[in-house]
Amino acid sequence: MAAYVDTLVVATSNKGKLEELRALLAGLPIEVRAVAEVMADPPSVDEDGQTFTDNATKKAREIAHATMMLTLADDSGLEVDALGGRPGVRSARFAHARATDAENNAALLAALEAHGDPPSAEGFPARFRCVLALVDPFTGGGEPRTVEGECLGTITRAARGSGGFGYDPLFVVEGTGRTMAELDEAEKNRLSHRGRAFASLRPLLERVLVERAEQARRVE
């Protein structure tokens, strides 16, 4: 693997997710590229699935087909028990279709106001969930390989921390007493839903890279 460096396209326009995935992928013999870095006019994928797996696999398939490159897609979000699992797959657009992080956080707190005080001093029980889908057009029949990760915690009404993105300042990670936005990069990559999903993905990705390197040597 060390002699062969491959390219992995990450099917996201979210800069925060891209940087997290780049950090998680460090040390592997790959060059991580955003879709916009490999295509002048990237396709717009409609995330209309009912589950995180639906959306992640759809994005990975479509971008892999468009680029004919090894592709990784992420779909992740926040599930709050008091809201029946919302915002869920609509986490990035909970307030409206083009919502900012601040607007989504405000919409989340407004939705929780109707439920009065949280059931405990820690806040409203919630979880971050992540599905990663890997598609390689040249191995595994081009079929998506998926893994999941989960991070339990609670929603606090007072935002804390300056790191991360999305709902991180409101999400207190179970067992830490700190919000996701208060964790340093190493802690977040170890404890987060995305970090846990990637821990499952890494050995799978390493096997795919070996297969691709072997294919490249055969055609040289």
Q: Which residues, at least 6 apart from 211, have a Cβ–Cβ distance to it below 8 Å? A: 136, 139
Q: In what order do the strands lie in the sheet with 71-80?
A: 30-34, 6-10, 71-80, 124-135, 145-155, 171-173
Residue 119 pLDDT = 86
| Residue ranges of domains in the chain, CATH in brackets | 6-219 (3.90.950.10)
Closest Cα partner for 185 from 163, 165, 202, 170? 163
Q: Is the pLDDT of residue 220 over 80?
A: no
Residue 159 pLDDT = 95
Given a contact cutoff of 8 angstroms between Cβ atoms, the answer to whether 25 and 8 are in contact is yes
On whether the pTM is more than 0.85, the answer is: yes
Q: Which residue is catalytic, options 75, 81, 101, 117? A: 75
Q: Which two tokens stand for residue 70?
A: 């090894």
Q: Which two tokens stand for residue 72?
A: 């990784």
**Tens digits of per-residue pLDDT, 198-211?**
999 999 999 998 88
**Tens digits of per-residue pLDDT, 167-190?**
999 999 999 999 999 999 899 989
Q: Is 54 a catalytic residue?
A: no
Measured distance CA(66)–CA(69) in Å, rounded: 8
Higher pLDDT, 168 or 2: 168
In this structure, the number of other CB atoms found within 10 A of the CB of residue 55 comes to 23
